[in-house]
Amino acid sequence: MRHRTTEAVFDYFNHLRAGRAAPMRTEIDPAALKTVLPDLFILERGRDGIVRFRLAGTRVCFILGQEVRNREFAEAWEPSARHKIKLAADTVLANQNALEIAVETAADDEESFALEMLLLPLYSQKDRCDRIFGSLVAIEPGLTIEPYPRLLLPSDLAFVPVDAGVSGKRPYLVDREPQTVVASGFGGLVNRITHLRVFEGGKRN
């Protein structure tokens, strides 16, 4: 993990989880992470087995260059990566894993830039883990995000033990003002990064 938003979201998830495999969707309190809400999204796996964006913050839409609500999650990725991403999202839900993805963007008319994505499992009911709580942030400070539709490329995927501590701070005390970069054409803001620690491993029993 390289971004403080990723750290805050991961800590908040573990705080809500409180030793369980994953928290309930209804436990997510938007006010608890108010400064990073634009970087967050929620995915839902429908009865057809397809994982779609249910909600997406403004900075997520800035990065993807379009509104993504109700769009298939896999369609946000390069075609060559979609099968891998579908399997990864299914694994997050089936095994209640946390997944960190190092991401690059791809567009015909601009250079790519680095992103970090976090996927965390959520229950919609006590016996149904079918939601994913996630964040997507740009790594490069001072980045100008143009409003072009763009696809994502995974450069690295790492499952993280859900009980791995990150900051040691209470996650809902994310009250610092975000440092900003320009989101050209949208009038939005993207947080600047600080260095975080990397965790290796998979699901712990």
Task: Look up residue 142 and give its DSSP letter.
Answer: T
CA pair distance 165, 178, nearest whole angstrom: 23
Tokens of 5: 């938003």
Nearest-5° Cα angle at 202, 196 to 205: 120
User: Is pLDDT above 50 for 181?
Assistant: no
Per-residue pLDDT tens over the stretch 46-93 = 999 999 999 999 999 989 999 999 999 999 999 999 999 999 999 999
CA pair distance 60, 43, nearest whole angstrom: 13
SS3 percent helix, strand, coil of the chain, rounded to 5, is: 25, 35, 40
Find the helix or strand (DSSP H, E) in which 137 lies.
Answer: strand 128-138
Least confident of 15-29, 125-139, 169-183, 187-201: 187-201
Q: How confident is the model at residue 162 (pLDDT cuts 50, 70, 90)?
A: low
Listed residue (177, 189, 166, 171) closest to 57, CA to CA: 189
Highest mean pLDDT among 15-19, 103-107, 120-124: 120-124
SS3 148: coil
Reported pTM: 0.78
Per CATH, the homologous superfamily of domain 4-191 is: PAS domain (3.30.450.20)
CA pair distance 4, 192, nearest whole angstrom: 8
Find the helix or strand (DSSP H, E) in which 4 lies.
Answer: helix 4-17
The domain ranges of the chain are 4-191
Q: How confident is the model at residue 182 (pLDDT cuts 50, 70, 90)?
A: very low
CA pair distance 75, 70, nearest whole angstrom: 11
DSSP H stretches of helix in 111-158 = none
Burial class from Cβ neighbours inside 10 Å (0-12, 13-18, 19+) for residue 143 reads: middle
